[in-house]
Amino acid sequence: MDRREFVRIGLAAGAAAGSSRVLAAPSAAAYKFGAGGILEAGVREQQQMMEAGKLTSHALTSQYLARIRNIDKAGPRLNAIIEINPEALKIALEMDRERMLKRLRGPLHGIPVLLKDNIATGDRMSTTAGSLALNGVRAARDAHVVAQLRAAGAVIIGKTNLSEWANMRSTHSVSGWSARGGLTLNPYSLDRNCSGSSSGSGAAIAANLATLAVGTETDGSIVSPASICGVVGIKPTLGLVSRSGIIPIAHSQDTAGPMARSVADAALMLAAMVGVDADDEATAESRGKAADYSAALEKGGLQGKRIGVARNFFGANPEVDMVIERALEDLAAQGAMLVNTEVPNASKYGETETEVLLYEFKADLEAYLKKYAPHAPVANMADVIAFNKKNHARELKYFGQEYLEQAHSKGDLETPAYRDALLNNRRYARAEGIDQVMQQHQLDALVAPTGGPAWLTDFINGDHYGGSFSSPAAVAGYPHITVPAGHVQGLPVGLSFVGAAYSEALLIRMAYCYEQATRHRRAPQFPASVSLSVR
């Protein structure tokens, strides 16, 4: 059966049944493509098969949905998916129909995508940030980034679990847990944490539950779970991707970004996500600054590049340092010139960063609820706090809501303490931080370990991170890419590339060259725990 016949029969069956259940998808074995099969394949490979008539979006989407049933809801029960889009197969059929009519929307046409459950969708899915306070609440309309992805032909197949309220609920939290979604397990060791808050997106892509996923980051919430789950994550420059329609923490740091199994896939997704949005004033600065990120996917991207090794972000874990030292050798072998340095003043904005986040969380959450969920049972931070107290047994059984209470106690965004803290952050993260070291040494990028390997999930003691390189780029609002760099006891470790504002294309070029020269990604095997014999 050729592609057109498959689509014709599927459309006819759908019309007859009055639903999207049209045709049983061929088994994964029917579409072998490399060691991991078609579900491990990237965007370009999947597109090539669809163009050749060997695959349809409906069949691909069906296979991912089947894998979610078998891996996420049964088997190892990763619990990465919080909700399935009931219209996913219907959308996939429409993308197949458009392909048959030669109306391709772009590189993501017909490609299955997962969204983190703090990203608004104006469809039959809820948008909750993992909180029971918003359970069943459908957003009034799509977030701008969702509209961009739909326009690019992406098939939104569901939403991923996350750390509740994007990990801004408690000082004693457990990443990857939400009252609505439960705990997401790490596919490389089921007793270990995925990090947060985009834990579900990281685990889902690592386990081949979709081709692509969207995460969001305030500080580390894309790059940390990407590193720990052995995938690629891109945190863009603040304002390159619209924040409108995303349940916020803080507008001075929040951004959505792609999570994928390869740099190429992440780059193609980023290209579809960017765009100026009249509802997000920060995107106005990005006008004309987005690049052709697919053009950055070329050989020789490290040749002659000056890369600063941020030595003050080493030392948290000697085995991680060994992995990254080997990565530095690989960078040099590809023609990079390495300069040992430090990111200055990185210790001068830890407290003020938290202060800014608390002030903005209170104001930004109320603004989101008013615009995207005016029908929700909660309208502000005080309502959320009261809901959690009323539903203590379900919401507060593992940890409290200290950050929500601290945020509620803050004043408005004209408060001098807030404005002073924000100025401090920008001074030491930007001008006297990343900008200073890059200008001083004429650097193209900074590199360091993204963070430590996955820690054991612990509901008694909470999270215990093993170091992180996320804060400088997060507080500055600058781009950050993490790429798999190897493993410690079988647990993935990422290498971070950080650059100046709007340097995504340059970072992608370097990250792609490193990835292609090393190819460290290994598909997970879902062990119950780490085997100490694995290196």
Does the annotation mark 197 as catalytic?
yes
Q: Which of 20, 57, 116, 163 is catalytic?
A: 116
Burial class (CB in 10 A: 0-12, 13-18, 19+), 389: exposed
Taken in order 521, 523, 527, 532, is the CA torsion positive or negative? negative
Q: Which amino acid is at 494?
A: G
Task: Kindly name the residue from 197, 198, 471, 496 that is annotated as catalytic.
Answer: 197
Question: What pairs with residue 498 in β-bridges?
Answer: 446, 480
Strand partners, 309: 340, 447
List CB contacts of 183: < 8 A, sequence separation 6 or more: 79, 174, 176, 177, 457
Distance CA 260, CA 152 (A): 17
DSSP letters for 292-314 = -GGGG--TTTTTT-EEEEEGGG-
67 neighbors 39 (Cβ within 8 angstroms):
yes
CB 256 within 8 A of CB 273: yes
Residue 221 appears among annotated catalytic residues:
yes
* Single-letter code of the amino acid located at 22: V
Contact by Cβ (8 Å): 81, 158: yes
- Nearest-CA neighbor of 129 among 196, 49, 206? 196
Spatial separation of the C-alpha atoms in residues 129 and 133, rounded to whole Å? 9
Name the strand (E) or helix (H) holding 177: strand 177-178
Closest CA to 197 of 512, 474, 501: 474
Where b means 16+ CB within 10 Å and e means fewer, 124-161 reads ebbbbbbbbbbeebbbebbbbbbbbbbebbbbbbbbbb
Instruction: Report d(CA 239, CA 29) in Å as an integer.
Output: 42
Are 384 and 137 in contact, with CB atoms under 8 Å apart? Answer: no
Chain-centroid distance of CA 275 in Å reads 18
Q: Which of 57, 221, 286, 470 is an active site residue? A: 221
Q: How far is CA 281 from CA 154, 252, 287, 495, in A?
A: 26, 12, 11, 32
Residues carrying an active site annotation: 116, 197, 221
